[in-house]
Amino acid sequence: MNIKFAAMLTGLAMAASLGMTGGAAASADPARVSTPDLVARTASVTPLAMQFFCAKNKSECASNRSGGSQVTMTPNLMAVLKQVNVHVNRAIRPQRDVADVWEVNPASGDCEDYVLTKRSTLIRQGVSAGALRIAYTHTRRGEPHAVLVVKTSEGDYVLDNLNNSVKTLRASGYTIRSMSTANPNRWIAG
């Protein structure tokens, strides 16, 4: 067995064991959970495809960017969010991944590719990277789905490839299952 293959198997085994541990902690009785357990319960494993993306695209995932974990909502910011959402939704042709590889600016891709492209575009337009969160939810049909959440002074807003409107999280109808923090390499449970 070659070293790269062995390392990949080890990483997958670690991710699986962390996932199983997180599930056990999440199903624990909240009344009997002590404070240290509560912290562990809210942690989430960063998706493996995101880990690979960040390893390959370090500048897209830099956690030491300037800016806060929330932006001030202004009419100008809302206009930028709407413009970017529509532009990216039209620029990428929807296509399910054969292999779960996340990319910025692909010709075709799935929901994570839309999210990463919107995130990258907004950062280039001056929106704080720390306010842009990658979030997992489910569609109305129950399918796993990723959206971009923008943390603002007026609440959380969702940019979605299934809808050209920018909506508040509440108006979107989505329930967040897991989401990146201000550092896209760290995730929390919804």
Alpha-carbon distance of 106 to 91, in angstroms, equals 9
Alpha-carbon distance of 11 to 35, in angstroms, equals 29
Give the residue carrying structure tokens 């002074």. Answer: 153
pLDDT over threshold 70, residue 110? yes
Would you identify the CATH topology of the domain 48-189? C8orf32 fold (3.10.620)
Q: Residue 2 phi/psi, 5° resolution?
A: -80, 165
pLDDT-derived band at 97 (thresholds 50, 70, 90) equals confident
Give the residue carrying structure tokens 């969160």. Answer: 133
CB of 97 within 8 A of CB of 109?
A: yes
Strand pairing report for 187-189 and 108-109: unpaired
List, for residues 121-159, the tens digit of each pLDDT value: 999 999 999 999 999 999 999 999 999 999 999 999 999
Query: Is the torsion defined by CA of 26, 28, 31, 35 positive or negative?
Result: negative
Query: Is the torsion defined by CA of 126, 179, 147, 108 positive or negative?
Result: positive
The count of other CB atoms within 10 Å of the CB of residue 124 is 9
Q: pTM, whole model, 2 decimals?
A: 0.76
CB of 186 within 8 A of CB of 46?
A: yes
Ramachandran area for residue 38 (φ above 0: left; ψ -120 to 50: alpha; else beta): alpha
pLDDT over threshold 70, residue 13? no
- Sorted by sequence, the CB contacts under 8 Å of residue 169 that are 6+ apart come out as 149, 155, 156, 157, 158, 176
Measured in whole angstroms, the distance separating CA 118 from the mean position of its chain's CA atoms is 11
State the pLDDT at residue 21: 36
Q: Locate the domains of the chain by residue range.
A: 3-44, 48-189
State the pLDDT at residue 98: 77
